[in-house]
Amino acid sequence: MLLSAAVSRRTLPLPSLSALSPSSASPSALSTRSSLRFSSHPRATHGSKASSLPRSPSAPAPAVALASLRSLTLVLRRPFSSSSTSSITMGAPATGRVDTADRVHALRKLMADANPSVDAYIIPSEDEYASEYPADADLRRGFISGFNGSAGCAVVTKDAAALFTDGRYFLQAEKQLDPKVWTLMQQGEPDVPTWQEYLYKVVPAKSKIGIDPTLISADDAHDITKELASVESTLIPIAENLVDKVWTTKPARPSNALIVLDKKYTGRSYEDKVSELREELKKKKFVGGVANMLDEVAWLFNLRGSDVPFNPVFFSFALVLLDRTILFIDPATITDEIRAHLGKDVEVEPLETFYDALKKESASLKNGEKVLIGKRASLAIQTALGGKSKAPTERSIIVDQKSIKNATELSGFRASHIRDGAALALYFAWLEEELSKGTKINEYEGSEKLLSFREKLAHFRGPSFTTISSTGPNGSVIHYSPPETGSPNIDPNDLYLCDSGGQYTDGTTDVTRTWHFETPSEEQKRAFTRVLQGHIAIDRAVFPRGTTGFLLDVLARRPLWGEGLDYRHGTGHGVGSFLNVHEGPMGIGTRAVFNDTPIKEGNVLSIEPGFYKDGAWGIRIENLAIVKEVNTPHNFGKKGYLGFERITMCPVQVKLIDAELLDDVEREWVRTYHAEVLEKVGKELRGLVSQQGIESDVKRAIGWLERECGAKI
């Protein structure tokens, strides 16, 4: 799954904005609670909305024994539907245009009626937790624009509406945006401003720019404030989100049950993590720190949830002081088991009291005392804590801690990827056989079949993102997802790109393979081979400690550049451990942000170069890899050297490789990798033979695996 290659946001330190009013930053209380969707027959829950049914605030929280939870499947899947909200679901199919004229008109009226009135209004993609993939209730940018890609920002003025997104979504945005209402701003293209630049270069001078202060980072807000001052414009925090007032059919936020992730999966107790966090806070001269991102809280407390599709997280904040730990969450989710896990040292407070608690903490700070907030923390959080002097931004300590996996987590990653490789072999073998018989299988049916194979595996909890199952021209839409109805049939005479992943109790997977089920063209083979060479170059790279992904990125693009080709996305992203499939702070790509953080031992990263011929087909090859120490003959500078251990286990189609373009080292890489895949996945498949009703599938998959891994090159 891909990250953007677009220009990153700037984070220059700037003067803080004026304080908000005491009540301005408080979000509304959660209005819906529901139990976590567990089922020993998860297929029966697909498409169901049972988990979204509200229950009385006084109803008891679900008391499910933790032992039984471990044997069941946590469904982290976003169902498709024909409801009014599905049209703006992030990661949903790239369907037709949504009529947004009335929505934008209503928003403009609210802008004019606001006190003070504003000349422009910013609608980011993120929620108040800075989530890349928010819950349905927080998809404001998708609602107002009709564009449901995961990345983008909308700016509405009195007489214009602009949607900013990166190269992954250019084609999708063109299909979904109403050109009579919206102008698509292709970020990263020459002479196209960022959304921040648009505010002071395109929007007229002396304008008032409105923003929900919970939805913009404090750093971004200060940067924009400084730039706006140069044209005598101002940034106006507006407590009540204006899009929410237009969105009359806005769904309620879920508040699902939690599970404890056992130490046999995490490798560390939550008490150890909190203790380490406190030590780091002391070293940095802070009296406390805020965890404002959902995966930070889930990781810190060894808890998982299902409030956000595909991401095993739950709505919450945490405040860790040197002598207190406070978890802000819906109290109804705290069962006896969760309470016992947290112990007496963690105070649990209602989520809606978070901002008031920050204000109280700010008032108690002595002269010079400070609370750390991360670079992604909102303006509302910083303001509640008393501004920049009391709550300066630094990179989150938890983000760094979480990104370096311990030995237990790395073992889980390896094991989960072998199991996942078995599901991939089962699926691709089935798909090839069915297509060879002339069976018509559409893209969505293919994605469902892959899901059905993953559901047979131990520890499977749900997909880690919406599967990209794309045939022919749809493969060139980088973040395409097939609609449940109207998906085209998979064409055996064209390229098929499948990017998918799973959430397992012991790890998160993300893998892309490109296949041709008949005879590929020479152009396709040449492009595929150049992508493969770039993938191999990163996989084989050895580099000194301190090297960033920004410096490694060129290795993946060099073979394509020699052909005059390239791709509009990052080359690699971090991956969480039974957490978000996109995880920072490190990554591999051309964005300046990838030069901020070196790649470190214990990181798990994707390697996923690609090429996309617009309107024709797409190619991507993606593996996940563990960053490991490498023993080199020398150790110049006494830095130590690092490299990658690939953990994704799925063959690369030899039929698509132009072997004459490979050198001996690259050929040997393919042979060695395929031998490893055959050994590990073959053993896993043979272990599945005893499962009732799957024997023929396993036999087919083993034969397919032996053929693909044994193909000569």
In DSSP notation, 231-264 reads TT-EEEE-SS-HHHHH-TTPPPPP----EE--HH
Quote the number of domains for the chain: 3
Q: pLDDT grade, residue 689 (50/70/90)? A: confident
Q: In the chain, pLDDT over 90 holds for what percent of residues?
A: 85
* Cα–Cα dist 166/170, whole Å: 7
Crossing angle for the helix pair 695-710 and 664-686, to the nearest 10 degrees: 170
> Do 453 and 569 fall into the same domain?
yes
> Which of 215, 230, 246 is where one domain is finished?
246
Indicate whether 706 belongs to any domain: no
* Cα–Cα dist 153/163, whole Å: 6
CA 284 to chain CA centroid, nearest Å: 29
Query: How much is the pLDDT for 565?
Result: 99
- Least Cα distance to 378 among 398, 399, 358 occurs for 358
Query: How much is the pLDDT for 81?
Result: 28
> Which of 659, 676, 700 is where one domain is finished?
659
> Do 591 and 609 fall into the same domain?
yes
DSSP sequence for 570-589: -SEEE--SSS-SSEEEEEES
Pairing verdict, β 460-463 and 468-471: unpaired
DSSP sequence for 173-230: HHHHS-TTT-EEEETTSTTPPPHHHHHHHTSPTT-EEEE-TTSSBHHHHHHHHHHHHT
Please work out, in degrees rounded to the nearest 5, the angle formed at the alpha carbon of residue 248 by the alpha carbons of 94 and 178: 35
Q: pLDDT grade, residue 5 (50/70/90)? A: low
pLDDT tens-place string over residues 464-488:
999 999 999 999 999 899 999 999 9
pLDDT tens-place string over residues 261-287:
999 999 999 999 999 999 999 999 999
Query: How much is the pLDDT for 14?
Result: 28
Give me the amino acid identity at 39.
S
3-class DSSP state for residue 355? helix
Pairing verdict, β 543-544 and 641-646: antiparallel
pLDDT tens-place string over residues 395-422:
999 999 999 999 999 999 999 999 999 9
Q: Do residues 525 and 656 lie in contact, with contact meaning Cβ atoms separated by under 8 Å?
A: yes
Q: pLDDT grade, residue 446 (50/70/90)? A: very high
Instruction: Fill in the DSSP letter of residue 620.
Output: E
The residues that bridge with 516 in the sheet, in sequence order, are 495
pLDDT tens-place string over residues 567-612:
999 999 999 999 999 999 999 999 999 999 999 999 999 999 999 9
CA 187 to chain CA centroid, nearest Å: 19
pLDDT tens-place string over residues 210-234:
999 999 999 999 999 999 999 999 9
Q: Do residues 527 and 619 lie in contact, with contact meaning Cβ atoms separated by under 8 Å?
A: yes
Please work out, in degrees rounded to the nearest 5, the angle formed at the alpha carbon of residue 174 by the alpha carbons of 528 and 180: 170
Name residues whose C-beta falls within 8 Å of residue 668's C-beta, 6 or more positions apart in sequence: none
pLDDT tens-place string over residues 12-25:
232 333 333 333 33
Indicate whether 300 belongs to any domain: yes
Hey, which bits of 479-568 come out as E strands? Answer: 495-500, 502-504, 507-508, 511-516, 543-544
Phi and psi dihedrals of 56, rounded to 5? Answer: -60, 140
Instruction: Fill in the DSSP letter of residue 563.
Output: T
pLDDT tens-place string over residues 553-564:
999 999 999 999
Distances, alpha carbon 90 to alpha carbons 147, 152, 483, 554, in Å: 9, 11, 13, 30
> Do 570 and 474 fall into the same domain?
yes
pLDDT tens-place string over residues 513-525:
999 999 999 999 9
Indicate whether 531 belongs to any domain: yes
- Least Cα distance to 614 among 653, 571, 572, 566 occurs for 566
Q: Is the pLDDT of residue 507 over 80?
A: yes
> Do 195 and 277 fall into the same domain?
no
Domain harbouring 509, CATH code: 3.90.230.10
Indicate whether 579 belongs to any domain: yes
Query: How much is the pLDDT for 4?
Result: 59
> Do 555 and 619 fall into the same domain?
yes
Pairing verdict, β 208-211 and 234-237: parallel
CA dihedral 345, 351, 353, 359 (to 10 degrees): 80
3-class DSSP state for residue 327? strand
The H or E element containing residue 108 is: helix 101-113
Name residues whose C-beta falls within 8 Å of residue 270's C-beta, 6 or more positions apart in sequence: 300, 301, 302, 341, 342
Q: Do residues 657 and 671 lie in contact, with contact meaning Cβ atoms separated by under 8 Å?
A: no
Exposure of 683 by Cβ count < 10 A (0-12 exposed, 13-18 middle, 19+ buried)? exposed
> Do 450 and 528 fall into the same domain?
yes
Q: Do residues 624 and 574 lie in contact, with contact meaning Cβ atoms separated by under 8 Å?
A: no
> Do 326 and 241 fall into the same domain?
no
Sign of the dihedral through C-alpha 257, 262, 266, 268 = positive
* Cα–Cα dist 99/344, whole Å: 52
> Do 217 and 305 fall into the same domain?
no
> Do 231 and 289 fall into the same domain?
no
Please work out, in degrees rounded to the nearest 5, the angle formed at the alpha carbon of residue 207 by the alpha carbons of 201 and 211: 95
DSSP sequence for 445-490: HHHHHHHHHHTTSTTEEEESS--EEEEGGGGGSTT----SSSPPBP
Sign of the dihedral through C-alpha 265, 269, 272, 277 = positive
> Do 476 and 592 fall into the same domain?
yes
Q: Is the pLDDT of residue 706 over 70?
A: yes
Q: In the chain, pLDDT over 70 holds for what percent of residues?
A: 87
Put simply, whether the predicted model's pTM sits higher than 0.95 gets the answer no
Please work out, in degrees rounded to the nearest 5, the angle formed at the alpha carbon of residue 180 by the alpha carbons of 175 and 185: 60
Query: How much is the pLDDT for 692?
Result: 73
Indicate whether 487 belongs to any domain: yes
Distances, alpha carbon 675 to alpha carbons 13, 530, 624, 651, 682, in Å: 52, 22, 18, 9, 10
Output the average pLDDT for the chain.
89
Token representation of residue 678: 């055959």
Name residues whose C-beta falls within 8 Å of residue 389's C-beta, 6 or more positions apart in sequence: 16, 370
Q: Is the pLDDT of residue 439 over 90?
A: yes
Number of H helices and E strands in the chain, helices first, is 20, 29
> Do 388 and 466 fall into the same domain?
no
Indicate whether 342 belongs to any domain: yes
Indicate whether 635 belongs to any domain: yes
> Do 277 and 210 fall into the same domain?
no
Indicate whether 210 belongs to any domain: yes
> Which of 612, 644, 659 is where one domain is finished?
659
Residue 367 belongs to domain spanning? 254-400
* Cα–Cα dist 446/515, whole Å: 13
The H or E element containing residue 164 is: strand 161-165
State the average pLDDT over residues 131-150: 95
Q: Residue holding tokens 């009391």?
A: 390
Phi and psi dihedrals of 218, rounded to 5? Answer: -60, -40
pLDDT tens-place string over residues 490-505:
999 999 999 999 999 9
Which segment of 30-39, 389-398, 602-611 scores lowest on mean pLDDT?
Answer: 30-39
Domain harbouring 381, CATH code: 3.40.350.10
Q: pLDDT grade, residue 6 (50/70/90)? A: very low
Token representation of residue 686: 């043979």
